[in-house]
């Protein structure tokens, strides 16, 4: 298949994404949640800053307040990936897709690229706007993009959101259902970011889940903190996240190749 033909298949997959109402709505929700929670969390920290213990004020990290809301907003990215893959199985339109694109690896690659591109485009808007909004809410306690950690966190967030969406796409393809994938991923990712990853009894294991790696990339880990600290840095986090995404995509492709539809 030529590059032009693959581009045409990718464009067709993008049109499919746009045609599913729930998927179309999930992308704006990603922006609204990412920006809205950035302001809410930032303002909350600013309002309660004077009441913090002295140790917390001295170690306060404005990036934590900036991107913590993305641990919720990421669920919209997961929905996009899962629905883009699973919707065709539930409606049986997967047969039409295979008839139009008999080579399943081409079909799967084009769908993956379309989802990654759509979420990346929204992320490239959401993350910078969330950063600026959070700094406005934090006021004198904020930071700027001139800080190296801030730039790294912005880049990490922009990469994390499309990767977690593609991870969801791979899981949904492997399971052959968006509902099954979301039934597994949403509770795990929500609880992982909000609770499981911060429980000392199991933290040593669950800290290597993809959303935990994303927290490191978005500078949501706190060095030395028994609750929010992680045992690895941003480069290892990138490798962990890419490995999980690759594993999900390979698993999805193997299931897709063997599935009789």
Instruction: Give residue-wise pLDDT tens across range 39-69.
Output: 999 998 888 777 777 777 777 888 888 999 9
- Residue 226: predicted pLDDT: 45
For residues 214-237, give the mean pLDDT.
75
Per-domain boundaries in the chain: 3-258
Other C-beta atoms lying within 10 Å of the C-beta of residue 50: 7
More confident: 197 or 181: 181
Instruction: Give residue-wise pLDDT tens across range 70-79.
Output: 999 999 999 9
Q: What is the pTM of this model?
A: 0.89
The answer to whether residues 130 and 33 touch, using CB atoms and an 8 Å cutoff, is no
Lowest average pLDDT, out of 12-26, 77-91, 169-183, goes to 12-26
- Measured distance CA(215)–CA(86) in Å, rounded: 27
User: Is the pLDDT confidence value at 23 over 80?
Assistant: no
Name the average pLDDT for the chain.
Answer: 86
- Residue 257: predicted pLDDT: 87
More confident: 120 or 190: 120
- Residue 20: predicted pLDDT: 74
User: Is the pLDDT confidence value at 253 over 60?
Assistant: yes
The answer to whether residues 109 and 116 touch, using CB atoms and an 8 Å cutoff, is no
For residues 84-107, give the mean pLDDT.
82
Lowest average pLDDT, out of 4-8, 19-23, 141-145, 230-234, goes to 19-23
User: Is the pLDDT confidence value at 135 over 70?
Assistant: yes
The answer to whether residues 83 and 16 touch, using CB atoms and an 8 Å cutoff, is no
User: Is the pLDDT confidence value at 34 over 90?
Assistant: yes
- Over pLDDT 90: what percentage of the chain? 46
Instruction: Give residue-wise pLDDT tens across range 142-176.
Output: 888 888 889 999 999 999 999 999 999 999 999 98
């Amino acid at each position: 298949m030529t590059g032009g033909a693959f581009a045409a298949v990718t464009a067709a997959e993008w049109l499919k994404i746009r045609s599913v109402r729930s998927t179309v709505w999930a992308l704006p929700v990603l922006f609204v949640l990412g920006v809205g929670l950035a302001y809410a969390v930032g303002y909350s920290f600013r309002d309660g800053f004077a009441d913090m213990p002295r140790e917390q004020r001295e170690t306060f990290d404005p990036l934590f307040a900036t991107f913590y809301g993305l641990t919720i907003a990421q669920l919209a990215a997961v929905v996009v990936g899962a629905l883009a893959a699973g919707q065709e199985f539930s409606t049986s339109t997967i047969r039409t897709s295979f008839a139009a694109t008999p080579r399943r690896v081409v079909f799967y690659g084009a769908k993956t690229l379309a989802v990654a591109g759509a979420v990346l485009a929204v992320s490239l808007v959401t993350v910078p706007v969330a950063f600026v909004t959070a700094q406005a809410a934090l006021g004198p306690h904020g930071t700027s993009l001139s800080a190296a950690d801030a730039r790294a966190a912005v880049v990490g967030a922009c990469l994390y959101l499309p990767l977690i969406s593609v991870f969801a796409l791979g899981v949904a393809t492997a399971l052959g259902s968006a509902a099954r994938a979301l039934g597994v991923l949403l509770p795990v990712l929500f609880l992982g970011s909000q609770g499981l990853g911060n429980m000392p009894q199991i933290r040593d294991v669950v800290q290597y889940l993809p959303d935990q790696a994303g927290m490191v990339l978005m500078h949501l880990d706190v060095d030395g903190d028994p609750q929010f600290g992680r045992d690895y840095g941003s480069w290892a986090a990138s490798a962990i996240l890419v490995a999980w995404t690759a594993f999900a995509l390979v698993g999805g492709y193997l299931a897709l190749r063997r599935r009789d539809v």
